[in-house]
Chains A and B, each alone.
Chain A
Amino acid sequence: MTRELWKGNDAFAEAAVRAGLQAYFGYPITPQTEALEYMSARMPELGRAFLQAESELGAINMVYGAACTGVRVMTSTSSPGTSLMMEGLSYIAGTEVPMVLVDVVRGGPGLGNIAPSQCDYNQIVHGGGHGDYRPIVFAPANVQETVDITYEMFDIAEKYKTIGIIMIDGSIGQMMEPAEMPPMMEVRKEVPEWAVRGGSGENRRVLSSIYLDPAEMEKTDLRIMRRRQQIENNEIRYKEYFMDDAKIVVIGYGSAGRVALSAVRSARNKGIPVGLIRPISVSPFPTDLIREISKSVEKILVVEMNSGMMLDDVVQAVQEKTHIEFYGRMGGLIPFPEEILDEIERINKGTKPLTDHPRNVWLDRMDSIIAR
């Protein structure tokens, strides 16, 4: 096995191919487009389905159709495209068919920009499409992790007949890093029992998300939620660093978590007892872990590239037992390690009890932070 230099967008595309991907449907959008371009050459070369759709609406519904036949299928897009796909994602969730989506998040709202951001957290993690469902969302922090998670995500999505989303930000999609590709998996030949294939009478299969009878809809919602419960029991993933004797813990995912690690290392060199929790599964969220940790640490600093969307999940987990502060950069800006180090040092020196929500406290300080 060799490590090669891979661009993030190409890397997750190749990882999906190696996971036995049978069909890819997508639409160009920066900073994700390289994945579409990569697939446009790679999939036909292997005799697999590739199509550039007319829109993200078209792409997600092509995915929906292919998913109903039981093949391994995916799409990738970036934030405005994800908004457009929310309709299809809701239908796919309601039909209980598996698929994989990679969202390469950029700055927003609106057209925003094409710089790296984590502002899709609420849309992706807390649902954006209508109805009672929660997708699985993993947020890797580097190219290798993106490769490994993409490779595994198809199995996970199929196991729970659900949507598996890999949420990276534009910088992970665009950066090149050494990564080792997993072995090429054989394309699955057999058709899953539930999939449409062209059958009639007793072998007829109808796949739909419509349940006119509310009692039947509720049964379906319960089935989906029970599978969600299993997901919450089985699929929590995170990494922890320097946690053994930590008095302060930084919590951040994806690129924010990666930058935070640099800051935590510098703080450790200065003798500050700080550790890092980097959630990889943001849905399901490691609530129990964070609740447990909050009992033994004194202060928590949440770092994100948004206005504190995961912060709400942390606050809910901690339930005001521990002092929580927030540091976020928005609009497509990545925080520098020095910025986070400043925050760690400030918190380490001593903090007054918060009189307001951590988001408001951070917002009040933002003007002076930007002025530096």
Chain B
Amino acid sequence: MTTQDVKNMEIVYERPEALVDINYHYCPGCTHGIAHRLVAETIDEMGLIDKTIGVASVGCSVFTYNYFDFDFVEAPHGRAPAMATGVKRVRPERVVFTYQGDGDMLSIGAGEVVAAAGRGENITVIFINNANYGMTGGQMAPTTLPGMKTTSSPAGRDVENMGYPIRASEMLATLDGASYVVRRSLHDAKNIRKAKMAIRTAFETQIRGLGFSMVELLSTCPTNWHMTPVEAAQWLESNMIPYYPLGDYKIHPLVAEIKN
């Protein structure tokens, strides 16, 4: 192929404008990068780059704000939905979203997310479920599967002693204030496309003032799972999806009218 051939080629993919042109600190094979890209592409496509304020959380996603090229604030551990509420209530014309992992949102921050969803707070939560605490080195999370080994459940999660995993989407879907709650996965191309459509619908839900929206994204953590990226994707498909079925858990009738 000559240089001229390359020049004549159609550009089919490039870095989203909403992503800063720097390298991620995430481990190889981690799906945070994919989730970031999907959010950034959606922001670009919907023309929201100058209308969005993101709320970062604590965990691997603590540096989320380094990668998005728009305004961000950084919340204390678990408090992102409360902080997002504060932003949204005084800047209701802005799109406000949190980006939280499972330890952050479902353990220390369970109260804040339930309260925000119950209020029908008009914010969007991007919820990364990788079944462990990634940042601190792979401890047991509320999402850790029964029997799953982590650094703080070395013999495997014993549900008699350590309790059962919490299914966030199913739980929040019971709340009247939640308008759009879905679970998607990032383990293969087909599911990644579906995840992106869901993120778009979630932002659209917020823009239309329809209340709380959350997209749960089943994600991989190859480093702490002690797997290669490919093994991790396969493990997610065969172990996480049976426990955390993909699907739409809450779609308000007005959200159902949104066509993407």
Contacts and interface: CB of A to CB of B under 8 A. Distances in A.
B147 interface: no
B108 to A, nearest CB: 10
A58 B111 CA distance: 9
Contacts of B75: 61, 64-65, 91
Nearest to B78: A57
Contact of A22 (B51, B82, B90, B115): B90
B70 A65 contact: no
B85 A210 contact: no
A208 B94 CA distance: 19
B227 interface: no
B82 A65 contact: yes
B18 interface: yes
Interface in A173-214: 196-201, 203-210
Interface residues on A, range: 35 or more
Interface in B49-71: 49-53, 55-56, 62, 65, 69-71
Chain A at the B interface: mostly helix, strand, loop or mixed? Answer: mixed
Interface in A21-57: 22-23, 25, 49, 51, 53-55, 57
A63 interface: yes
A25 to B, nearest CB: 7
A149 to B, nearest CB: 24
Nearest to B96: A65
A69 interface: yes
Contacts of A209: 74
A324 B49 CA distance: 62
A53 to B, nearest CB: 7
A62 to B, nearest CB: 4
A68 interface: yes
B89 A49 contact: yes
A65 B49 contact: no
Nearest to A54: B115
Nearest to A22: B90
A197 B54 CA distance: 11
A207 B72 CA distance: 6
A201 B69 contact: yes
Nearest to A58: B82
A71 interface: yes
Contacts of B70: 198-200, 204
Interface in A50-107: 51, 53-55, 57-59, 61-69, 71, 73, 87-88, 91, 95
Contacts of B56: 208
Contacts of B170: none
Contacts of A63: 86
Contacts of A95: 73-74
Contacts of A198: 50-53, 70-71, 91, 94-95
A286 to B, nearest CB: 33
A58 to B, nearest CB: 4
B115 A66 contact: no
A196 B72 contact: yes
11 contacts: A23-B86, A62-B89, A64-B82, A196-B53, A197-B53, A197-B94, A198-B52, A204-B70, A206-B65, A206-B73, A207-B74
Interface of A: 22-23, 25, 49, 51, 53-55, 57-59, 61-69, 71, 73, 87-88, 91, 95, 196-201, 203-210
